[in-house]
Amino acid sequence: MAYIHFGKDDYLKRTRHGLDYIRNVHRNPQTGGYAWIIYDGKITDDTNHCYGLAFVMLAYACALRIGIEQAREWLRETYDLMEEHFWLKEKCLYASEATGNWKLKDYRGQNDNMHACEAMLAAYDVTKNEIYLERAKILAKIMTDSSKELYYQIWEHYHVDWTPDFEYNKNVRTNIFRPWGIQTGHQTEWAKLLLILDRYDSQSWHLERAIQLFDRAMKYGWDEKNGGLIYGYDLEGNFYDGDKYFWVQAESLATAALLGDRLKDEKYWQWYDKIWNYSWKYFVDHKYGAWYRILTPTNEKYSDEKSPAGKTDYHTMGVCYEILNVIDKE
């Protein structure tokens, strides 16, 4: 994306380097899978994650966008890999995790399907292949329809039969990647994806559901005392994890801009300003750049760490591009 906006050859070289590493180090040519963790050039965890494959697809879609034509084949290869090993035809959703030899584990989660939807939308945008759009539509419909049970909020964890698992990690505060509770940022991230989906397949329910998700996330997730959006709240709308995460603010910022542009409703631009002013004050490192990763409920840094290597600046940069899409229309 930086190459598209700035045209520097160095960005293209870095893209090719990243693709080479994904293809030649993470990818297992025998199984087709992608190792989850590489340390010092060696595989330390060969687990296959649907979440990970979604980001592999996203990388290939971005590569194709800047003219790396071979990525078109790799996109379809990854789609087929997910279809073969993770797609649960009877549920029309993806499983979350498998061993290196593709033995599925029982955990089911919305996060994998959300990022798969994101990847499918990106793949469709650059290829116009309907197979990707159709899959995105299915994922969005099923995952956001399931939110009716929680007044149009998205639950994270499910049993193997896809019934909600309300006990998963309930008393575990250390697993920040599969936390208990309703995740503020995932409500707004799904709202964003519904609005992006609507560009390609306009349906009235996309906007309706996006508004519901965003409005409830602001109602229950905004910290009126200290500012900022919390990580998660419980089934009654009470704060569960009051820490502030950089990506939650970022995703919500983009969604506020998209809703403000779509609805011409000043309320969403007020939310945009509110989230941005908070982020600028507390999250952005004005000396070295980038955003701090996590703040306490009272907005103190836990450390100087920025977004970790696995995420780089994916959320914050992605939000910039979505907001630029709005600004460029003006």
**Residues with catalytic roles:** 186, 315
Please count the CA atoms within 13 angstroms of the CA of 242 that sit on its side-chain side.
12
Q: How far apart are CA 229 and CA 60, in angstroms?
A: 32
Neighbours of 173 (CB within 10 A): 12
**Angle made by CA atoms 166, 211, 151, in degrees to the nearest 5:** 30
Q: How far apart are CA 283 and CA 319, in angstroms?
A: 15
The two tokens of residue 317 are 């940069």
Q: What is the DSSP letter of 172?
A: -
What sign results for the dihedral spanned by CA atoms 138, 144, 145, 149?
positive
The two tokens of residue 66 are 């800047």
Q: Tell me how far the alpha carbon of residue 307 is from its chain's centroid.
A: 14
Burial profile 266-279: b = 16 or more Cβ within 10 angstroms, e = fewer: eebbebbebbbebb
Closest-CA residue to 312 (of 283, 291, 286, 282): 291
Q: What is the DSSP letter of 150?
A: G
Q: How far apart are CA 258 and CA 183, in angstroms?
A: 20
Cβ atoms of residues 162 and 89 within 8 Å: no
Cβ atoms of residues 26 and 44 within 8 Å: no
How far is the CA of 40 from the CAs of 37, 44, 47, in angstroms? 10, 9, 17
